Amino acid sequence: MSKLSSRKPKSKKKKVSVRVSDYYKIDGDKLIRKNQFCTRCGPGVFMADMFDRYVCGKCGFTVFKKQPTRKSHK
């Protein structure tokens, strides 16, 4: 019997629906930021303000300021 399995393996990626709209308000084709927090890491983790996108320095999550027209997306 191995004791190596005492550590519980992290469950796979939690299915997190990224609700960008919680952080960004899309006005026409403008993206207005409410917060600059990473949607993955959660509140508290700021994202770097790049010229055309925000990049989380922790997980690398990128949010583009300009979003293409949304197609019907499930």
Q: Which residues bind Zn ion (CB under 5 A)?
A: 38, 40-41, 56, 58-59, 61
Beta carbon of residue 40, minimum distance to Zn ion (angstroms, whole number): 4
Q: Which of 30, 57 has the CB closer to Zn ion?
A: 57
67 Cβ neighbours under 8 A, 6+ residues apart: 26, 29, 31
Location of structure tokens 């550590």: 7
Phi-psi map region of 42: left, alpha, beta (phi>0 left; psi -120 to 50 alpha): left
Beta carbon of residue 72, minimum distance to Zn ion (angstroms, whole number): 27
Q: Which of 18, 32 has the CB closer to Zn ion?
A: 18
